[in-house]
Amino acid sequence: MECGYFLKKYADDKTFGEIYFLLIIGDWECNPAPVVRALKNATSNTDELIQEFKTIFESLQQAFGNHAVLQTQILSTQIINDLKSAGKYEYLNNIPYAAGASFQPSKACLPGTRQALLDDILTWINNNDDSRILLLTGAAGTGKSAVAHTIAGHLKTLGQLGSSFCFSRDHSDRSPDQLFSTIAVDLAYHNQHIMQSLNKLDPASRTSADVSAQFQSLLVQATQNLDMMGPLIIVIDALDESGDVHARRSILNIFSTEIKSLPANFQIILTSRPEQDVIQKLANCPHVKHMSMEDVQTTRQDIEKYISSELKPLGNTFNKKDYQVLVEKSGNLFQWAFVACHTIIGSGKAGSTARYRFSQISDEVHSGLAPAPLDQLYSTVLNSLFEMDDDHVKDQFHNILGPIVIAHEPLSIDSLKILLQEKYSIEEIKSILGYMGALLYGATGPNTTPIRLLHTSFRDYLMDQDRSREFYINEVDHHQQLCYASMKIMLKYLHFNIGDLVTSHRPNPEKIQGQLDNLSLSYSCCYWGYHLQEVPYEEDLSKCMGVWLKHKLLYWFEALSVLRKVNAARPALLKLEQWFQVSLELKGFTRDAAQFILYFSVPISACAAHIYLSALPFCPEQSLVARHYLPSMAHTLRVETGQIQSWPATQMQIAGHGGWVTSVGFSPDGKQIVSGSGDKTIRIWDAQTGEAVGRHEDWVTSVGFSPDGKQIVSGSYDQTIRI
């Protein structure tokens, strides 16, 4: 830069033209005398400057000569780092991850609301004492999830968010056995030390479905000796939606007894409804700080701000007095305010204005004991949309909305049309769902958009007949409807090579292709067993199941292989075996199919073609599945000698304890096994996975079920008995 200024100084000087020419065009390095002579002619005091600039130019020339070597070294280092990173990410891809379970900025609090509560939470994070968990509880609709999304977004901006996980009943992959694995992957991208630790784990530890094992291997071990300054926060929303009391027991045990195994700067924010098991396990723990949404003093003002912001775009239609009327009706529930505002703004029925819809909500009067605010609002909204005295409308409401409510995963309008066996047209389905934008996500979007309930309180309302009355959704009826429809769809669409595989020499492709890209078919393959468990025995459905077993079973295995859902096969078949009541032949065939998928699940999971190459030919001679299907496979392998006669007596090996197993026992119904171990834990097991349900301070020496199978008793060297 200084050289530039030096040259600029003499830009207008006649001698400068000679200097410039010699510097730029001339070979000044080989013959610098002319440059020096010209500079001396321009000024008498330049010797030091000339020498300085000359030295600089010579060093730049040398640097230029070395530049190619330097760039090569940098590029090589980048390539090596990219290869190492690719290897790291490949290991992470093996760890179960619930995509889409993180926070969503669109679900955050309205700016300017919940400020006092948010400040209290941030103060807890930055000035924490001994508490490691902040438990925020509140009834349905109080806005605790919005607080969780807001805090997570703020921490993300600050670089303090380790992970966020939002449980949801509408997403089957957001289950307890995906919680800690998802958190571990998020933390690995946050910190290289954790990533390296996860890379060193054996495959079994990285892919374990056991919640307690995941916590120990993916979090505790991976964060040992972690050198990190400042708080790192994990936000977990809607713990009550993780499942029933049994499903979340392991998580609660870990949060109540083992959370201090994590580094001291790790803090967890939990939100949940005040379920009894959650409160009993966590609220009184010394390392848990409990906050309640009901204690927030600014709720009314915050709801008024929200209502005002939502209705202001309607102009002068509503004023402050109207906002206050809605605040009074809300019962301090943000969900009420959300539904009310969206109903007022929405299209409603023909002839209804926003002002009319406001009056329907604000003037609703109930006789006798007043229902809860949300129940009252849901009834008002639904009554304003649907004439339930009309049998045609009533049937459409139940038959179209029912499957949306009880589906295991959200369904789109297109897939719902197929699952309803074309009974209703797209227009008829939209005539019910299209007006429910205040209650359903995706109801007004494209036909391929999955539709789900906006809030779990709406599901609770619809499935309680005393609360919803004529809008009641009969769970059993719609489970039966979807189970039967799933069977019909699989019978119609399943066929050989359903995944359009081109070779058996490679694993199944990552991208699902062929007809399985159809949501209704993939849903039917994955979840018919979920619906079957709620359906009473029926002869027509039994006959349909029999045809499916004898003609489509192997194609169903193919579909599950391509969908990466092979682990869903055996539980569904065991449910089907129990469901069959009359046909001993079908019960036996189903039991054999369950054994088939148990023994050959590994090769079948890798590639669907191995059903025919590695599984069917090597079945025992007495296998009913092999006897039925092998004759139709003319070009497959045949075992000439040494074929086993029946399935081995050892059905499976279950691993998971970290010490000697000292005691085991079956539950009264034979569906579960309880075990005690020297690792100080007891576990209950089903055919697929194990779940840690308690912890002693010393070896567990004896375990047993109560006669009704509802409780477990254990004894230990720590001189305690636990129930």
Read out DSSP for 329-359? HHTT-HHHHHHHHHHHHS--STT--HHHHHH
The string of pLDDT tens digits covering residues 493-510 is 999 998 888 887 788 887
CA distance 477 to 141: 28
Task: Give yes or no for residue 71 having a pLDDT over 60.
Answer: no
- What residues have CB less than 8 Å from 237, skipping those under 6 apart? 103, 144, 145, 148, 149, 164, 165, 166, 167, 271
Q: What is the mean pLDDT of residues 594-608?
A: 88
Task: Give yes or no for residue 528 having a pLDDT over 90.
Answer: yes
Confidence band, pLDDT 50/70/90 cuts, at residue 14: very low
Which one-letter amino acid corresponds to residue 171?
H
Strand partners for 234: 163, 268
Helix (H, G, I), strand (E, B) or coil at 464: coil
Task: Give yes or no for residue 612 having a pLDDT over 50.
Answer: yes
- What residues have CB less than 8 Å from 384, skipping those under 6 apart? 343, 348, 349, 352, 357, 360
Q: What is the mean pLDDT of residues 590-601?
A: 90
Q: What is the mean pLDDT of residues 336-346?
A: 86
Q: Residue 710: what pLDDT?
A: 64
Q: What is the mean pLDDT of residues 121-133?
A: 86
CA distance 137 to 283: 10
Residue that wins the pLDDT comparison between 243 and 563 = 563
CA distance 478 to 406: 7
Q: With contact defined as beta carbons under 8 Å apart, do 599 and 625 qualify? A: no
Task: Provide the 8-state DSSP code for 167.
Answer: -
Q: Residue 89: what pLDDT?
A: 57
Task: Give yes or no for residue 23 having a pLDDT over 50.
Answer: no
Residue percentage of the chain with pLDDT more than 90: 34
Most confident of 20-34, 35-49, 115-129, 709-723: 115-129
Closest CA to 178 of 243, 106, 108: 243
Task: Provide the 8-state DSSP code for 594.
Answer: H
CA distance 702 to 705: 11
Confidence band, pLDDT 50/70/90 cuts, at residue 464: very high
Q: Residue 535: what pLDDT?
A: 92
Confidence band, pLDDT 50/70/90 cuts, at residue 687: very low
Residue that wins the pLDDT comparison between 2 and 142 = 142
Residue that wins the pLDDT comparison between 503 and 521 = 521
Which one-letter amino acid corresponds to residue 41?
N
Q: Residue 468: what pLDDT?
A: 92
Token pair for 642: 């040494």
Residue that wins the pLDDT comparison between 437 and 550 = 550
Q: Residue 75: what pLDDT?
A: 52
For the ranges 113-122, 154-163, 654-663, the lowest mean pLDDT is seen at 654-663
Instruction: Report the run of H or E that residue 308 belongs to, with start and end.
Output: helix 299-311
Quickly count: other Cβ atoms within 10 Å of residue 713's Cβ.
14
Helix (H, G, I), strand (E, B) or coil at 411: strand
Q: What is the mean pLDDT of residues 304-331?
A: 89
Q: Residue 174: what pLDDT?
A: 86
Which one-letter amino acid corresponds to residue 589?
F
For the ranges 176-180, 615-619, 717-721, the lowest mean pLDDT is seen at 717-721
Q: Residue 536: what pLDDT?
A: 92
Averaged confidence pLDDT in the chain: 81
CA distance 5 to 11: 10
Q: Residue 73: what pLDDT?
A: 57
Q: Residue 67: what pLDDT?
A: 55
Q: What is the mean pLDDT of residues 200-219?
A: 83
Confidence band, pLDDT 50/70/90 cuts, at residue 694: very low
Confidence band, pLDDT 50/70/90 cuts, at residue 201: confident
Task: Give yes or no for residue 156 having a pLDDT over 60.
Answer: yes
Q: Where are the alpha helices (DSSP H) in 498-614?
A: 519-532, 539-551, 553-562, 569-579, 584-599, 601-606, 610
Q: Residue 81: what pLDDT?
A: 53
For the ranges 38-47, 91-100, 546-555, the lowest mean pLDDT is seen at 38-47
Q: With contact defined as beta carbons under 8 Å apart, do 325 and 132 qualify? A: no
Token pair for 152: 């997570």
Quickly count: other Cβ atoms within 10 Å of residue 34's Cβ.
16
End-to-end CA distance of the chain: 80
Residue percentage of the chain with pLDDT more than 70: 81
CA distance 257 to 282: 10
Task: Give yes or no for residue 197 having a pLDDT over 80.
Answer: yes
Give strand ranges (E) for 87-160: 133-137
Task: Give yes or no for residue 575 having a pLDDT over 70.
Answer: yes
Closest CA to 109 of 101, 121, 100: 121
Token pair for 109: 């609090």
Q: Residue 701: what pLDDT?
A: 75
Confidence band, pLDDT 50/70/90 cuts, at residue 237: very high
Helix (H, G, I), strand (E, B) or coil at 234: strand
Confidence band, pLDDT 50/70/90 cuts, at residue 336: confident
For the ranges 529-533, 608-612, 698-702, the lowest mean pLDDT is seen at 698-702
Q: Residue 676: what pLDDT?
A: 80
Residue that wins the pLDDT comparison between 33 and 368 = 33
Most confident of 35-39, 201-205, 592-596, 698-702: 592-596
Provide the b/e sequence for 644-669 (b: ≥16 CB within 10 Å).
eeebeeeeeebebbeeebbbeeebee
The string of pLDDT tens digits covering residues 364-379 is 544 344 457 788 888 8
